[in-house]
């Protein structure tokens, strides 16, 4: 049974995405394979008005979903930071959730510590440890760049491990 998972790392300046194709062995359900389909980012320029940046995220995320036709979307769960960008990230995440709802896609959410635990084995792993695990799990000889795309792939892999 094949499943395509889209991982999303929401942000206003950069929204990371990663698409993996997972194949479960129907005889031995605990085994299977995962392959990378694509990854990248949707970027919005800092000097552009916020409303236009949100429109860019809206339009470009529709394109990503139409292009890859995911079966499941995994997204980083938002929790509050003590930073000035919290509201902007929340607005971007709202746009992402709207687009996913419009496409009626099933969604799973993971906290950063859940992703770290799933990929590196403990919830306080360093970013580089998670990125190395992404490369290893996807059988890549490089760490996907930029970091936001690697994070999106880590979120997608977490969904795969939880299925």
The DSSP bridge partners found for residue 14 are: 43
CATH code of the domain occupying 2-162? 3.30.420.10
Domain boundaries, the chain: 2-162
The three-state secondary structure class of 93 is helix
Token couple for 92: 């971007």
Q: Mind listing the pLDDT tens digit for each residue in 102-135?
A: 999 999 999 999 999 999 999 899 999 999 999 9
Q: What CA–CA distance (Å, rounded) separates 102 from 117?
A: 31
Q: Which residues are catalytic?
A: 9, 76, 148
Q: Mind listing the pLDDT tens digit for each residue in 15-49?
A: 999 999 999 776 655 568 999 999 999 999 999 99
């Amino acid at each position: 049974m094949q499943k395509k998972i889209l991982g999303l790392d929401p942000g206003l300046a950069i929204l990371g995405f990663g698409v993996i194709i997972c194949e479960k062995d129907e005889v031995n359900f605990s085994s299977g394979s995962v392959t990378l389909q694509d990854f990248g980012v949707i970027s919005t320029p800092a000097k552009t008005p916020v409303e236009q940046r949100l429109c860019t995220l809206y339009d470009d995320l529709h394109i990503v979903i139409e292009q890859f036709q995911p079966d499941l979307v995994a997204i980083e769960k938002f929790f509050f930071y003590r930073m000035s960008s919290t509201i902007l990230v929340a607005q971007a995440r709202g746009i992402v959730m709207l687009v996913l709802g419009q496409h009626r896609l099933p969604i799973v959410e993971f906290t950063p510590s859940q992703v770290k635990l799933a990929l590196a084995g403990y919830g306080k792993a360093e970013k580089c440890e998670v990125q190395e695990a992404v490369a290893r799990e996807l059988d890549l000889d490089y760490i996907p760049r930029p970091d936001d795309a690697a994070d999106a792939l880590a979120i997608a892999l977490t969904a795969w491990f939880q299925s």
